[in-house]
Structure 1
Amino acid sequence: MTDSLTLAFFTFAVPAVLLVGLSKGGIGGAIGLLGVPLMSLAVDPVRAAAIFLPILIVMDIVALWSWRHFNDRKTLLMILPGGVIGIALGWATSAYVSDNALRLVIATATILFTVRYFWQVYGPHSRVPREPLPHRPVTATFWGSLSGYASFVAHAGGPPFQIYVLPMQLDPKAYTGASIRFFAIVNAVKVIPYFFLGALDRENMFISMTLLPVALVATMLGAAVVKHLKAEVFYPMTYGLAFFAGLKLLWDGLFG
């Protein structure tokens, strides 16, 4: 057993992979954001992201097959170039960003997204109907770039993607299909910089394969659970957990 494969590591890693698997299975939302922050409590954020990448790619393949008949092609084509730009920026700046700085990036993205969720659901304008927004190329590139960057450093690209796409009020199946395709492409592209950065070394790949069965079971479990769980109970709970995970990483990033 390597130094990484300790009981303390798996205490954080297994729940982290379970949560991401549940997210990929259809539960979605903030629960997927908990993965890297939770694993980052056991190993540095770069390594946590590297361990997650092969697992995410396998789950992407399963999700692509499950949602192969649904997509919004225009949305995908509009936001994807920005995603690739964000990955390139993350690669270019990776040598200059410390572990604590990455913790701050993850924490900021998590906290802002959860605060945004509670404001929309419980804020003073929560009951005001909103008209769907049209596509905006400049805005799509901006949020796509942030999504690609956050995905590169922490697999946390969901919030920027949702900030751009959700206001368009797409059909839920079309939204899910476009989201799955976007992040499947982004995760595949990330393999190149992760490889050249040495993050996909033998030990990290071995750990990924060790955790993969947990991810696959969680993905199937998520697909089953989402059919029976009441959203009005589950989502506030998971967004609240994400908020506290973000606060913990914020503390570590500031005072680590």
Structure 2
Amino acid sequence: MITDPVFYAVAIPAVILLGLAKGGFSGLGMLSLPMMALVVSPVQAAAITLPILIVQDVVSVWAYRHAWDRRNVVILLLGAVSGIVTGYLLAAQVSDAAVKLAVGIISVAFALRRMVVERGGRQPKPAPADVPRGIFWGWVTGFTSMVAHAGGPPFQIYVMPQRLPRDIFVGTGAVLFALINWIKVPPYLALGQMTSENMATAGALFPVAIASTWAGVLLVRRVSGQRFYTAVYILLVLVGAKLIYDGVTALF
């Protein structure tokens, strides 16, 4: 287990952000991996994060167990499985920086466009949960989740235009990513990232992970549906900008 106090000084705030994201403030968790990568390698940070995400999934799925959209989960999962397999097969060839840059550009463009349209007084009709788009964005979600723990923005791009009720939106993401994170375990084992040191370190952070996820659930339920979507759009822009910065910095 990692015993360096500097690591925990960074890791604890990172896990709190993950918990708030799992509780419903989608996007905040994207800041966690870069924070942890300041004190350990990005690969080790991703390996420590995965068990923490799985524990937090238990809390968020329980909290939203009666509020999730089965059709969306099934459609997205069909694409996500193939995306995870693709990410595993291309793990050595794919540039994390290029993935982050692409996801960041798409996220910012999508969120800004939706904000401009809705602020202009035009409320687009809710989009249906259609299979072709769902499988495509599910593939992107699985792929980016596997290579960079960055599956949140693609999921939001597909689901947000449906204008689901707040709890259904959060619950659908909770169930989907709980399944995706378990599917990612065998590839991570095959890549040799689930070491005893990483698992023990993750275990030491479990209490913070659980408490912060419950805090996220309670805070989200105090926000109205309209304000919730506005907050998610803003977070998507900020996260997208961070991904663009990370991608450009790493590439150039």
TM-score, scaled to structure 2? 0.86
Map of 1:94 onto structure 2: 91
CA deviations 1:155-208 (Å, max 9, x no partner) are 211111111111122233322222211111100110111111111111111111
CA deviations 1:51-79 (Å, max 9, x no partner) are 11100111111111111112211111111
Map of 1:142 onto structure 2: 136
- Report 1:55-204 matches (<5 A): 55-97=52-94, 101-110=95-104, 112-122=106-116, 126-204=120-198
Instruction: Go from structure 1 to structure 2 and tell me whether the alpha carbon gap of 1:162 and 1:229 turns closer, same or farther (over 3 Å shift).
Output: closer
Instruction: Go from structure 1 to structure 2 and tell me whether the alpha carbon gap of 1:234 and 1:153 turns closer, same or farther (over 3 Å shift).
Output: same
CA deviations 1:29-57 (Å, max 9, x no partner) are 22122122222333333222111110011
CA distance in 2, matches of 1:199, 1:23: 24
CA distance in 2, matches of 1:223, 1:93: 35
The CA deviation at 1:92 is 0.4
Instruction: Go from structure 1 to structure 2 and tell me whether the alpha carbon gap of 1:83 and 1:172 turns closer, same or farther (over 3 Å shift).
Output: same
Contact 1:33 1:110 in 2 (8 A): no
Instruction: Go from structure 1 to structure 2 and tell me whether the alpha carbon gap of 1:21 and 1:122 turns closer, same or farther (over 3 Å shift).
Output: same
The CA deviation at 1:138 is 1.6
Q: Percent identity?
A: 37
The CA deviation at 1:254 is 1.8
CA distance in 1, matches of 2:12, 2:168: 31
Q: CA RMSD in A?
A: 2.7
Map of 2:211 onto structure 1: 217
* Equivalenced residues, count: 249
Instruction: Go from structure 1 to structure 2 and tell me whether the alpha carbon gap of 1:15 and 1:237 turns closer, same or farther (over 3 Å shift).
Output: farther
Contact 2:20 2:215 in 1 (8 A): yes
Contact 1:38 1:245 in 2 (8 A): no
TM-score, scaled to structure 1? 0.84
Instruction: Go from structure 1 to structure 2 and tell me whether the alpha carbon gap of 1:165 and 1:102 turns closer, same or farther (over 3 Å shift).
Output: same
Structure 1 residue ranges without an equivalent (≥5): none
CA distance in 1, matches of 2:163, 2:200: 41
- Report 1:202-241 matches (<5 A): 202-227=196-221, 231=227, 238=235
Structure 2 residue ranges without an equivalent (≥5): none
Map of 1:48 onto structure 2: 45
Map of 1:30 onto structure 2: 27
Map of 2:251 onto structure 1: 254
Contact 2:108 2:241 in 1 (8 A): no
The CA deviation at 1:87 is 0.4
- The one-letter amino acid paired with 2:64 is W
CA distance in 1, matches of 2:91, 2:80: 16
The CA deviation at 1:118 is 3.8
Q: Does the alignment pair 1:242 with 2:239?
A: yes
